[in-house]
Structure 1
Amino acid sequence: MAQYDLSKTLIPYLDRHLSFPLLAHLGETGLFPAEEVTVAQYELAKGTNMFDYAKGLFEGIYPGETVPAEFDQKRTNAVSTNERLQQEAQAVLDVIENPDVAQALRQDKNQNLQYLKDNYNLTLDQITALYNFGQFQYSYGNYTGAADYLYHFRVLSTDAELNTSAHWGKLASDILTGRWDVALEELNTLRDAIDTRSAPSLLGSTAAQAQGAVLDPALGQLHSRTWVVHWSLFVYFNHPQGRTLLLETFLSPTYLNTIQTSCPWVLRYLAAAAILSRKAAAGLTTPATPLSPRVRHAIREIVKVIQTEEYQYSDPVTEFLRELYVEFDFERAQKALSEAVDGVLANDFFLGEFKDEFLDCARFLVSEAYVRIHGRVDIENLSERLNLSQEEGEKWIVNLIRESRMGADAKIDLEKNVIDINRPPQPVYQTVIEKTRQLAVRTQALGVAIGRPPQQAQQQQQKPDQAQEVLVN
């Protein structure tokens, strides 16, 4: 099932420290030879200050060979650099941790800098020592310390470029320390910063080096959002409300456009989140917060996107939804579900722990779709569609009817082993409402696009990403 692994696709959009958990997971799944995974870990580790970790990997790859002397030299340089940066950062901390100073600081950063300069001779260059030391702490794996120093730096600094870089470093540190509530707040702050800025340095230092210089502001935003989409997977698949928040974010026009343009493989996680949230949307479970219309109708929107992007990306998770809601082929949907659970989720870094929940929610979708198009349902046949024995299927279907809204419309005939569905016809006006939903918004967007001046339309043709985003909005 290595053909469905996305690690090679995701890692180029991640910081090297965020890539270590994915590689460790690959070593556990056995999808690839252990030697190849270890070599990949070593290639990442030798670019950091985690010398002991890199040394251990080298010894595992090349047993009996002498460890390169460069490791000892780098360690010596790192120790001296750490001492110097710590002294510089501590001089700043001694000032800002003073209770009198903390009480005197205000929301205005420029005012705070002037206060620190007048009273403590502390300049912006000296405050940058917090950033440098936090970045160095991150490079050798002290993520908690890095998060603290980067936070203090961002509170005081007025350097927009370094603040953006500190945002990325703080988010990565919070992810790697498993502080998901804090990471979610940091993620939302970073998204807002990206959406409100058009500077070419949006990616921050690490991402900018990986992607190269981005001169066009719109292209810079697209790249930044692409990175945010990949980094946010760590948060959304670990935070208790993460799947719902993922749908809220990724189904917004801006980020849906980003996914379709730059990273269609993220449709796997978008589809999985919609399936995992379907019971809550149907009222079978009580979510912590009320669900928005975007989440309640998520599957409908995602199926449209899956159809559109099928030429770019497809896997058993997306095929399951397409076969179920587009082709209405229950046999092929059943096959796709089996492959999705055993071949995709079982080995996916983000989805592995949701395997059982995903299967239960997918069975609910199959039952919901099957009952919707049949007036009489054969329990044995439906159980087969759900990959359950007849006895297990009977229990599962009975529980589903009891928990869902079907109870008043469905009656079980145990002698004939069937379910009779007495569904009242949908009113005509309700059908019209469903068909014309958001029609006014789309018509207005098309009207705006058509009514642009010729010169502006030509500029939009030169920037297809911007044009597509305007049309989606």
Structure 2
Amino acid sequence: MAEYDLTPTLSKFFDRHLIIPLLEFLGGRQLYDMNDIGKAKIKVLQDTKMFDYLLQEYATLTDGTSPPPEIQRKREEVMEDFARISEQKQEILEYFQIPAVQKLIEDVPDSNVLYEQLCKEHNFGSDMLDKIYDWAKFNFETGNYQEATQFLDLFRSVAPTSHSKQRSARWGKAAGEILLQDWNTALEDLQQLKTDIDSSANPTEMDRNSVPIAELLTERAWLIHWSLYVFFNHPQGKDKIVEWCLGSADYLNAIQTLCPHILRYLVVAILANKNKRRQHLKEVKDVIEIIKQESSNYSDPVTEFVISVFVEFDFEKSQKKLQECVVVLENDFFLVGCVIDFIASARKYIFETYCRINSRISIASIAETLNLGVDDAEKWIANVIREARLDAKIDAAKGEVLMGTPALSSYQMLIEKTKNLALRTQQMVNAVEKKAGPRPAPFQEANVNY
């Protein structure tokens, strides 16, 4: 199902280093020709300084043919840069090994105060900040993410908050933590990035330089995409994507304006979150409204499945779409780990929706709808009835599920008895008016015949 592969679309919102894992993943699938994937890797790697990796991919693609001289030349330049910039690293290490400097860093958590004191007492300055940042950036570009994140962390701790490279350092550190698969730290960095972006939209009295709306929209779209790595690997990740995307009009606006394909990940996060499934019923309804609004801009088997179950009540279609969803999720880098939970939850939603509109249900029809054997379907239904505490029982002799009528509370009985009262009152008024003749329109005088 290459038509539903989002890698080309997602790549527009990722740093080049974050694209490489997606291409590696596709290499193990059969969606594209391996030569095409190899060419895509080379194209991405050419804009990095990971030339050893690039040469390896080039050799694989061309069966050992010598790479173009341009690649070799750039590799030599990188090696020269490494020799030169390594001297700066040594200078940085020697400076921060001074006991008085180390003690000051431990005692002063505020980077603004720390920078001022380092400059005043220990001959620190912007040139040293540039060396820290440049060394971190060089390591990131060459694929040494561990070294990069350490020095970016150092940069952010000693640079004033107003420094022009603070935001980019935060982005770089977040990317490094993601590529190191340190999900806890990555989530903290991304959460701080979210705070920084949101603060830019509402500057304080001391900082009135607000960021243009278009730039904020783009940053929010980038943040959502980068966070997909964390959302589907961190234990609380699925809750976070729901919180960020449905809990904020700003991020929802970014999705609807720039990246409606994120709806796929939002739906899966809601349905595959088995620990909080009941609490997410409201989120299911909310995301359905968004899917309906964006149906002309984006749809795939995942969004179509939700509509078929909760809006159209088309269970034959939902069965077909669920099978397509499995293929889509298995070939999606971020969602491949959600397949089992998604299927289990999707089947429960199908069954519960089916139960709400039918009083007698054939177990055979449920088995067919859920793509299960009859015996397996009967066991599965029994488990769902028990777990969801549905008012239902299985008639094994007739092969049916019988839905009970829930007892109504006194409040519900009052609602049921009075819900048509307004309609009946209006009918009586209409009948009286028909006999009495038309009354004047509001705010107009009646026509009087003298």
Q: TM-score, normalised by structure 1?
A: 0.81
Q: After superposition, where does 1:59-98 map in structure 2 within 5 Å?
A: 59-63=59-63, 65-98=65-98
Q: Which secondary structure does the structure 1 equivalent of 2:334 belong to?
A: coil
2:444 corresponding residue in structure 1:
none
Q: CA 1:267–1:427 in 2, change beyond 3 Å: closer, same or farther?
A: farther
Q: Which residue of 2 aligns with 1:457?
A: none
Per-residue displacement from partner, 1:229-271 (whole Å, max 9, x unpaired)? Answer: 1111111011122112111111122211110111001111111
8 Å contact from structure 1 (residues 92, 127) kept in 2: no
Q: How does 1:3-402 map to 2 (within 5 A)?
A: 3-63=3-63, 65-105=65-105, 106-158=108-160, 159-198=162-201, 217-252=212-247, 253-277=249-273, 280-282=276-278, 295-342=280-327, 344-402=328-386
Q: Tell me if structure 2 keeps the 8 A contact 1:89–1:127.
A: no
How far, CA to CA, are the matches of 1:28 and 1:271 in structure 2? 25
RMSD (Å) for aligned C-alpha atoms: 2.3
Contact 1:191 1:228 in 2 (8 A): yes
Aligned to 1:443: none
Report deviation, 1:429.
6.4
The superposition leaves residues 293-325 of structure 1 with CA deviations (integer Å, 9 ceiling, x where unpaired) of: xx4511010111111100000000000000111
Hey, what's the Cα distance between the residues in 2 that align with 1:113 and 1:401? 63
CA distance in 1, matches of 2:308, 2:302: 10
Could you tell me which runs of 5 or more consecutive residues in structure 2 were left unpaired when the two chains were aligned: 203-209, 416-450
More displaced, 115-124 or 149-158?
Answer: 115-124
- Matched-pair contact (CA < 8 Å) for 2:363–2:377: yes
TM-score by length of 2: 0.85
Verify: 1:412 aligned to 2:394, yes or no. Answer: yes
- Cα distance in 1 for partners of 2:32, 2:264 equals 21
Task: Name the SS for the 2:164 alignment partner.
Answer: helix
Give aligned pairs, total: 405
Letter in 1 for 2:158: L
Q: CA deviation at 1:153?
A: 0.3
- 8 A Cα contact 2:271 2:277, kept in partner: no
Q: CA deviation at 1:83?
A: 3.0
2:274–2:341 CA contact under 8 A, matched in 1? no
Give the Cα separation in 2 of the matches to 1:49 and 1:374: 62
Counterpart-to-counterpart distance in 2, 1:136 and 1:427: 68
Q: Which residue of 1 aligns with 2:441?
A: none
| Matched residue type, 1:345 | L
| Structure number with bigger Rg | 2
| Secondary structure, aligned partner of 1:388 | coil
2:75 and 2:301 mapped to 1: Cα distance?
47
Partner Cα distance (2:413, 2:31) in 1: 48
Deviations 1:63-113 (A, max 9, x none): 464322333332332223223323223323333344432332313323212
Cα offset, 1:134, TM superposition: 0.6
Structure 1 regions of 5+ residues with no counterpart? 200-214, 283-290, 434-473
Distance change in 2, residues 1:377/1:97 (3 Å): farther
2:170 maps to a residue whose letter is H
| Alpha-carbon distance in 1 for matches of 2:311, 2:148 | 48
Give yes or no for contact 2:111–2:156 (8 Å, CA) kept in 1: no
Superposed CA deviations along residues 176-219 of structure 1, whole A, max 9, x for unmatched, are 111011111111011111111159xxxxxxxxxxxxxxx97111
Q: Residues of 2 paired with 1:428 and 1:323: CA distance?
A: 34
Deviates more, 1:105-114 or 1:49-58: 105-114
The separation in 2 between residues aligned to 1:10 and 1:61, in whole angstroms, is 24
- Distance (whole Å) between structure 2 residues aligned to residue 51 and residue 411 of structure 1: 65
2:199 counterpart letter in structure 1 = T
Matches of 1:35 and 1:356, distance apart in 2: 31
1:425 deviates by: 5.9
Instruction: Give the secondary structure class of the aligned counterpart of 1:107.
Output: coil
Runs of 4+ in 1 over 4 A off after TM superposition: 425-433
Instruction: Please tell me whether the aligned partners of residues 82 and 133 of structure 1 are also in contact (alpha carbons under 8 angstroms).
Output: no
Counterpart in 2 of 1:455?
A: none
Decide which of 373, 387, 404 is 1:422's aligned counterpart.
Answer: 404
**Pairwise CA distance, 1:346:** 1.6
- For 2:10, give the aligned amino acid: L
- Alignment partners' CA distance in 2, 1:321 and 1:258: 22
Identical residues among aligned pairs (%)? 38
Cα distance change, pair 392–125 in 1 and its aligned pair in 2 (3 A): same
Shift of 1:432: 12
Moved more, 83-92 or 223-232: 83-92
Aligned-pair distance for 1:428?
A: 9.2
CA distance in 1, matches of 2:136, 2:6: 31
Q: Secondary structure at the match of 2:261?
A: helix
Structure 1 distance, partners of 2:85, 2:263, is 43
Task: Provide the secondary structure at the position in 2 that maps to 1:411.
Answer: strand
Distance 1:135 1:310, change over 3 A: same
Q: Deviations over 1:23-50 (max 9, x none)?
A: 1111111201111110010011122111
CA distance in 1, matches of 2:369, 2:275: 19
Correspondence for 1:451: none
* Cα distance change, pair 133–426 in 1 and its aligned pair in 2 (3 A): farther
- With over 3 angstroms needed to count, the CA separation of the structure-2 counterparts of 1:32 and 1:255, relative to structure 1, is same
User: Partners of 1:153 and 1:341 in 2: how far apart?
Assistant: 44
Give the Cα–Cα distance (whole angstroms) in 2 for the partners of residues 428 and 235 of structure 1: 47
Q: 1:77 to 1:125 in 2, by over 3 A?
A: same
